Amino acid sequence: MRFRALLNFFGSMEIAWQAPREALLNAGLSPRIVENLQQVRSQIDLEHIWQKIQANGIIVLTWEDEAYPSRLREIDQPPPVLYLRGSLKAEDDWSVAVVGTRRVTAYGRQVTEDVGNVLAQSGVTVISGLARGVDSIAHQAALRAGGRTIAVLGCGVDLIYPPEHRKLAEEIMAHGALLSDYPPGTQPDSANFPPRNRIISGLALATVVIEAGETSGALITATFAAEQGREVFAVPGSILAAQSRGTNRLIRDGATPMLNPRDILEILNLKRLPEQRAARQVLPADAVEARLMQTLGTEPMHVDEISAQTGLPIEKVTASLVVLELKGLVRQVGGMNYVSIREDSEPYERE
């Protein structure tokens, strides 16, 4: 939030970085923060830092970069800077987060492997946090299935935590990415992990919680997902199992029970993902599609109401909705009612 305030006040972060004390105070920073900033500024050699970043093959993305993940850009507090090792691709727009406890049971392991395998085989990118337990199993399952996977870290991308996952991290970089909003060199710290969970959920269409105790960090990720308007799935478990108390509570509170990994594909309209990708490339949005996308929201709307609100003939509305559904941008929820399943509508705005 301070970053955005400085950007709004100065117009560029370069000017903000070089600004004198009085200007920083006028921008809204407290005297203590200004003093800290001035001290850090006197100790940092930006050119040296940039050389280290390049030497480590780290890619830096900011809000202003076209390659910055569009889905992440839409959350309440998107990170202003992302550090990346590996690659992000357009196909990562179709991604699902898979998270859960570090103390995974045999049941949780089997479910995680099944979920990661089904998602990857269906062309869905698996996102998780590289932690022990469910996270690492989800990454490994996606890689074994020949899919893509992204690990969001609670430390710098030049550090691998836990250290025994170095080989896994190398495989992830070859078939996806390591991602963090913490600068290179940042050590893993318990305070870093809850905030990074908003990135895990923010990158994904949905979050699947496999197993989670009552205080599991996976529940934080689920909360972020719900606040971001993303689907939350939870795997039901025994009411006697500690690892299932969190997931059972999520279901009680409104999360979708995941009884089969293909439930995810069905509910997110990902069963025809190859066709959706091809359609999005080949069939550009026109003025009619733009108007429909601006009219539709997350609440179901009948085609007659859509026609009335847009002023378009019913036959044109239904034909365009078929195309938008093929693109994966809308979903029919029964009885000729439709909802939008795209957060970012900017590409469909027209003069």
CATH hierarchy code of domain 85-267: 3.40.50.450
Is the domain defined by 273-348 classed in CATH 1.10.10.10?
yes
Predicted confidence at residue 180, as pLDDT, reads 97
Extents of the domains making up the chain: 1-44, 85-267, 273-348
Burial 203-236 (b: 16+ CB within 10 A, else e): bbbbbbbbbbbeebbbbbbbbbbbebebbbbbbe
- 182-195 tens-digit pLDDT: 999 999 998 999 99
Question: In this structure, is the dihedral angle defined by the CA atoms of residues 67, 204, 149 and 60, taken in order, positive or negative?
Answer: positive
- Map residue 284 onto helix, strand or coil: coil
Over residues 312-334, the pLDDT tens digits come to: 999 889 888 888 887 778 888 77
CB atoms within 10 A of CB 299: 9
pLDDT recorded at residue 105: 95
**pLDDT of amino acid 236:** 96
pTM for the structure as a whole: 0.77
Closest CA to 345 of 277, 295, 271: 295
Is it true that 85-267 and 273-348 share their CATH fold? Answer: no
Low-confidence ranges of the chain (pLDDT < 50): 284, 343-351
